Amino acid sequence: MRWLSILFVTLLLSGQTHAVEQKPWKCITQESVGAKTTDGEIRSISFKDRTEFRIKPLGAWVDDLTGSDLFKTILQSQIADSTENAQVGVSLIRKVSQDPRIYSSWGVCSVNEMVATGVPAYNLIFCDKAYFNLGAELRLDASTGRFTSAAFGDWHNTAKGDTPTTDSWFDFGTCTPYYD
């Protein structure tokens, strides 16, 4: 009978979830500001036509993706790396303009549970530039639905006399739960 109690407790703990469940998000940039450096001088600017994107929790749907074996291997490697650092789980992110059915459209995000005194626990979704095909780092607070993303451009590593090829910018926006 004792082994039955141990088995029950083990099963109960193995099915335990974090205080905040992962969910899919529809994210829309509301404001994009930064420094235009690609015209040969530095000037402040508000950018237009910034990206809308989707964030979706990792799941069996990934098995249905198609594309080159190289992109499949890269995505699987990034998922494995991110899984080691994520407390809650892993989500994938893509631009709305990209085909959701292929490996190369998706980047990887870590999902961590944030616990602070006096406020309910919430998830922080962090998409590292290396795994995020928007060319920026992104942070989404699942309790507020707000995100920021930043791209540093290439001003800092462009030789004097040469013109940078990538601008620097910050995006500010809101994400809402989204289900296809």
Kindly give the confidence (pLDDT) of every residue in the chain, 180 residues in length, as a single tens digit, with 9 standing for 90 and above: 443 333 333 333 333 334 457 899 999 999 999 999 988 789 999 988 777 899 999 999 999 999 999 999 999 999 998 888 788 889 999 989 999 999 999 999 999 888 877 777 788 899 987 666 667 889 999 989 999 999 888 888 999 889 999 889 899 999 999 986
Q: What CA–CA distance (Å, rounded) separates 53 from 69?
A: 24
pLDDT at 119: 75
What is the per-residue burial (b if ≥16 Cβ within 10 Å, else e) of 142-158?
A: beeeebebebbbebeee
89-95 and 119-127 strand pairing = unpaired
Tokens of 108: 């990887």
pLDDT at 66: 95
Contact 107, 94 (CB under 8 A): yes
Detail the DSSP E strand segments found in the chain.
Answer: 25-36, 43-46, 52-57, 89-95, 107-116, 119-127, 137-141, 146-151, 168-177
Q: What CA–CA distance (Å, rounded) separates 173 from 175?
A: 7
pLDDT at 122: 83
pLDDT at 132: 65
Q: What CA–CA distance (Å, rounded) separates 149 from 109?
A: 13
pLDDT at 16: 37
* Domain locations along the chain: 20-177
pLDDT at 31: 93
Rg for the chain (alpha carbons), in Å? Answer: 20
Q: What CA–CA distance (Å, rounded) separates 24 from 178?
A: 5
For the full predicted model, state whether its pTM sits above 0.75. yes
pLDDT at 3: 38
Contact 143, 120 (CB under 8 A): yes
